[in-house]
Chains A and B, each alone.
Chain A
Amino acid sequence: MINSDAKLVEKAKMGDDRAFGKLVRQYQNKVLYLAYDLIGNYVDAQDVAQNVFMRAFKSLSMFQEKSSFSTWLYRITTNAAIDFQRSRKRKHAISLNQPTSDKNGDRDLIDFLETKDMPFDKRIENLDMKDLIEETAKQLPPQQRAAFILKFFHDKKTDEIAEILDCDPVTVRGHILRATTKLRDQLKEEK
């Protein structure tokens, strides 16, 4: 897979649009699922995933192939999703200070209240295990969440996660340990 990726990347760099199309087809689901895991809804994840491929296409000439194409694409996806989350938080902050009459504004406010304002214990009451995991992941800081998701939902190795997040493997292990401990605590609380 990595070899065939490298060949396709080489062709795409030389201007072969079809080669890049093949890469897109190969990774379209993985990128969408990672974006969803990090963002939490498919509508936004879909936009982010499209932007990821657009960014990859534009900056392909700068890709030096020090890591594999898949790692590089996962890095772009993670960064794009984290950026999206940050911009959404900023939007929430603005919408709370302004009267919201439009549909999007209402939805943003509802999202915000759902994720932030209600006490965790109360929200957890009617949630099943799947929701609990998703909720716990949402509470984690961005990098910690990304490390946790890449490890458990995308089966990435620690070194690869470190490459994707551009940090030390020791930090990645710390993120995963803290996230797991937090989830375990939440499970205990629920019981």
Chain B
Amino acid sequence: MKKCHKNHLVVDYFFDELVEKDKEQFRKHLDCCEVCSASLAALSETAPIIKEYKRQLPDKKLMRLYKTKLKEKFYRPLSISSIADKLFRSLIIKPSIPLRLAEAGALILIGVIIGRMTFWKSSPNIDYQTNGGYEILLSSDGKTLVDNYLLEAEMLLLDVSNLNPLEDEQVLINLKQLAMYRSLLQKTLLCRERAEKLDDEKLLTLIDQIEPILLDLCNLEQETLDETVSELRFQIRESHLLFELKTMNQEKI
């Protein structure tokens, strides 16, 4: 019987498992090889008949029994302890990278919240017209407002009394802006309200002295700068305003 060393390739050729190049070569080989042609004919003749073969399906009872046995051996339902163990493993012992990142993020967030609650206290927000009116002004928040106001006023007046209008023109302009920026005038009004409500004579006297100085500072004109500043310095010195402010602030400290 004739043999061909390429005969085994008939199988891959028939089942279309050869690459295009090999398939083309083998097609040419088939034209001149009787052995391979005969094998291909045998395959072509028999394969469709085999493909029609359908295996007998197992009895339903037997199939159920088989699956039940496999289930008992290999995929039992999870118990609570095994779920807890699985959770513990996936969350603590071997967390995945995204889970680790999420845990780190959550820890940072918790740290920020605790830190904020412990160390950060917001300044009193006095909006007495909308939030309880005079009640807020008379509360401890109102007191804090007055304390801050007196401190700021002391610092501002100290700066004014120390500056020389000839040399420190820019400083003076900055002071003017600062006074406006800090809304000292606005705070003056609020503090006056509180002092009047509480009948705080001492505070009222102080505010009466501070307010015109602040007004003058806010209304400084370049032409009259020297004159106004000299006047203000004189006024501060004569009124002993700084001394009184300093005494009051130190008392509070």
Residue in chain A with minimal CB distance to B59: A42
Nearest-neighbour CB distance to chain A for B1, whole angstroms, equals 12
Residue in chain B with minimal CB distance to A152: B50
Binding-face segment, B63-71, B108-116, B178-186, B228-236: B63-71
A37 to B54, CA, bound (A): 11
A25 to B58, CA, bound (A): 17
Interface string of B1-24 (1 = CB under 8 A from A): 000000111111001010000000
Q: List residues of chain A with CB within 8 A of the CB of B56.
A: 130
User: Is there an interface contact between B70 and A53, defined as CB atoms closer than 8 Å?
Assistant: yes
Known: A42-B58, A170-B8. A22 touches B46 (CB 8 A): no
Q: B-side binding surface: helix, strand, loop or mixed? A: helix
User: Is there an interface contact between A177 and B17, defined as CB atoms closer than 8 Å?
Assistant: no
Tell which of A50, A180, A181, A187 touches B70, judged by Cβ atoms closer than 8 Å: A50
B215 proximal to A (CB < 8 A): no
Q: List residues of chain B with CB within 8 A of the CB of A28.
A: 66-67, 70
Interface string of A89-110 (1 = CB under 8 A from B): 0000000000000000000000
User: Is there an interface contact between B74 and A183, defined as CB atoms closer than 8 Å?
Assistant: no
Q: List residues of chain B with CB within 8 A of the CB of A25.
A: 70, 75
B202 proximal to A (CB < 8 A): no
Known: A42-B62, A158-B17, A177-B7. A20 touches B74 (CB 8 A): yes
User: Is there an interface contact between A50 and B66, defined as CB atoms closer than 8 Å?
Assistant: yes
A–B pairs, 20, beta carbons within 8 Å:
A18-B75, A21-B76, A25-B75, A32-B66, A36-B58, A42-B62, A46-B62, A46-B65, A50-B69, A53-B73, A57-B74, A130-B53, A133-B53, A151-B15, A159-B17, A170-B8, A173-B10, A177-B8, A180-B42, A184-B42
